[in-house]
Amino acid sequence: MMRSLMLSTAITLCLGQYVSAQTQDETLRNAEAFAPENAIVDTSIPFAIGAREARQELRGAFGWPTFQEGLVEGVYFRFDPDGYARFAPSPRLDTDVFEVICRPGTLNCQGRKGLLSIYLNGNGALQLDIAEVGDGDTMFLIEGASELQLPKRILGPLDERMELLLGSGGELLIKRGELKVARISLAGFSAVAAYLRWITARQDYGVLPRGWAVPNSSAPQGDPIAVNWQVSPAGQQNQPIFERQEKPANNPIASPATQQGSNEVLLNINELRDLLSASNDEAQPKSRLEIQPQSTVVREQSFADSDQTQISALQDTARALLEAAETLQKDTVRTDENMAFQNHQSGESPKRLANQLDYLMTEFGLDAKTALALIEREHDSELLQDNEAKLRIAPSSGNIEPSGDIVLDILAELRGQPSGPNLREESDDGFSRDEYQLLSDYFKSVFSGD
């Protein structure tokens, strides 16, 4: 009975995704004619600090007389009253452009860059589509020399951590076997995601990520960090991480039922664990490949790995569907009591997780991916040991992920076993070991305590 219920829920979700994709196609087809009633955005309300409304000279009879332009999250942007926007790293908005197009007259918008498109689904969750991706294709997040395999379920609704991961920058690599099918820059991903939410919420700052520099807010005005969703400017700064703002009551798309809460945190932690396992599993065959690139055995192994990856991806998809169904079911009967129970059961609190992430990113300058990995490792000692062993085996190949070094260093520091330069009594910077130890202690205390 339970199984059939879950199966039917999964099918419903799949159908929902299909319908949603169809709707997006229709959006693009219909977004052709200019109509003043398509104005959905007030360009005088700044999307971020420093943004300004500008007038444009029009030669023709119609068009939007104003637009807004600015710089946020390292990308320049301009958008029109109908929501049409462009985000790009250069002020000319000429290369590496994320384009957002909205279905005329609605808040249903879609961001796209090359093969990649993102949009908010019916539940208000960010969803990612990549055109021309086949069942056997694998996806990787590339940042510098590091390569992190992504589960297939990134093609479905994204949870916050996946969104966070993709928003941290880098490039999305799609491989078909060993063939690199496409490489898509993720520059502007987080800004576009924020923009889509902001539009959907009728320009409510409450849905913007915490740290997002918005006018007249108490948020920090430095580099905005899209780590987690900002709480309302109206004094809710202490809300837990990953908990989204209440959507405006007049929001026609997002539903309050999409508020994930602690259930989602638990789900996300499990997903992150899967993700990390997948990335570590990927590290070893990759090392072998590079040591013996010409070997037939290696090629066979790679095919086997590819099959394994596909199986793993299918399992991931199935798991994601089951989890989604489970979440949906749980949402319907969720009460404050069972939320508290689940929080207790997980041994984790969202607030603590938020503090840890925030601390690692702001104080240590870690990227989101590394910080998440670090947190996950700390919480799973067995996995940690396993990973350390693998990383120690591999150094001769020189193919350890750079982020692994950082993780190891920080973990070593956490255990009071400073490595490398930290072993010296006094560093080049003139800090004594005692001083450094104090900082480490502080870090450790923050990391391990509430």
The residues that touch other proteins, with contacts defined as CB under 8 A, are: 31-34, 36, 39, 54-65, 67, 69, 78, 80, 82, 84, 86, 92-94, 101
Interatomic CA distance for residues 393 and 284, integer angstroms: 10
Q: How far is the CB of 173 from other proteins (least distance, A)?
A: 24
Nearer to other proteins, 33 or 297 (CB): 33
Interatomic CA distance for residues 371 and 361, integer angstroms: 7
Q: How far is the CB of 108 from other proteins (least distance, A)?
A: 15
Nearer to other proteins, 54 or 234 (CB): 54
The DSSP letter of residue 245 is P
Q: Interhelix angle for 296-333 vs 261-291, to 10°?
A: 180
Interatomic CA distance for residues 188 and 194, integer angstroms: 10
Nearer to other proteins, 78 or 152 (CB): 78
Q: Which residue has the tokens 């664990």?
A: 273
Q: How far is the CB of 113 from other proteins (least distance, A)?
A: 13
Q: How far is the CB of 22 from other proteins (least distance, A)?
A: 19
Nearer to other proteins, 86 or 377 (CB): 86
In total, the chain counts a number of residues equal to 450
Nearer to other proteins, 101 or 354 (CB): 101
Question: HSE of 316 in the Cβ direction (CA atoms, 13 Å)?
Answer: 25
Q: How far is the CB of 414 from other proteins (least distance, A)?
A: 48
Q: Quick one: three-class SS letters along 157-205?
A: ECCHHHHHHHHCCCEEEEEECCEEEEEEECCCHHHHHHHHHHHHCCCCH
Question: HSE of 121 in the Cβ direction (CA atoms, 13 Å)?
Answer: 22
Nearer to other proteins, 57 or 425 (CB): 57
Q: How far is the CB of 254 from other proteins (least distance, A)?
A: 24
Cα 91 versus chain centre, distance: 25
